[in-house]
Amino acid sequence: MKTISTDKSYGGTQGIYVERSEACDCDMTFAVFVPPQAAERKLPVLWYLSGLTCTHANVMDKGEYRRLAAELGLIIVCPDTSPRGDHVPDEADNWQFGKGAGFYVDATEPPYAANYRMSSYITDELPRLLAAEFPVDMERQAIFGHSMGGHGAITIALKNPGRFRSCSAFAPISHPSVSGWSKPAFRKYLGADEKTWRAYDACSLIEDGHRLPELFVDQGTADSFLEDGLRPDELRQACDAAGIDLTLRMQEGYGHSYFFISTFMEDHLHWHAQRLGN
């Protein structure tokens, strides 16, 4: 791990780091905020997964999480959304695929399978590095995210029962197997057999028996991607049928941007902190 930069913020440290990832076969950049309480003890960690076109920097620059994270004693980890590098296959004119659009899957189709292994990177490789390099209490983890990152947070939590004490999302892609902006990416990453897509689809995972004790979702009513891309009503139906306690807040007039996310960020931090025992 190499340190790109560190800056003091609210008594803690906002750092940006890079590591050579075996899972993605490229350098991966990520951000970690460590609050001041870490000088005395290990702290719980809250993972934030970003959305389409984003890097680690979007929430770090616009998410407005540091003041409250410092108060609550939460380490915030912000990974990148996809592999990067000149050798990584991409479609430069397609914002819904390739770099910035890894969808938190482990691709199985060439040429993407060599690099697009974001599921393994987030669930296996980066946690090992975090535990080795930062003062984290890995027994107390939580996860949340936005849009494609909300999809990633929910699916990863569903497939790793017991690892995360809580899971929430801002405007998640709830049913990517049928959403217009994710189906083409799934086909390229995972192949034509749509049965294999179910492992990366929140609604399908719930239908197939995966469970969370509870889920907290904020969704803007003025989100231009609401009906086709995000489909919160289908997530509600899946949770209702499975008996999952879903809190779905439809926020009147809010869109899909960080104006929306930053407005409700503190609600999510408080919600996770309660479940992490802080």
Helix runs in the chain, H state only: 57-62, 66-72, 118-120, 126-133, 148-159, 183-190, 202-207, 232-242, 258-275
Per-residue pLDDT of the chain (278 residues; tens, 9 = 90+): 999 999 999 999 999 999 999 999 999 999 999 999 999 999 999 999 999 999 999 999 999 999 999 999 999 999 999 999 999 999 999 999 999 999 999 999 999 999 999 999 999 999 999 999 999 999 999 999 999 999 999 999 999 999 999 999 999 999 999 998 899 999 999 999 999 999 999 999 999 999 999 999 999 999 999 999 999 999 999 999 999 999 999 999 999 999 999 999 999 999 999 999 97
Please tell me which residue in 147, 166, 168, 179 is annotated as part of the active site: 147
Is there a catalytic annotation at residue 175? no
Q: For the chain, which residues make up each domain, given as ranges?
A: 2-276
Is there a catalytic annotation at residue 256? yes
Is there a catalytic annotation at residue 204? no
Please tell me which residue in 146, 175, 210, 256 is annotated as part of the active site: 256
Q: Given its phi and psi angles, is residue 100 left (phi above 0), alpha (psi -120 to 50 degrees) or beta?
A: left
Q: What is the pTM of this model?
A: 0.97
CATH entry 3.60.20.10 includes domain 2-276? no
Backbone angles phi, psi at 29, to 5 degrees: -100, 140
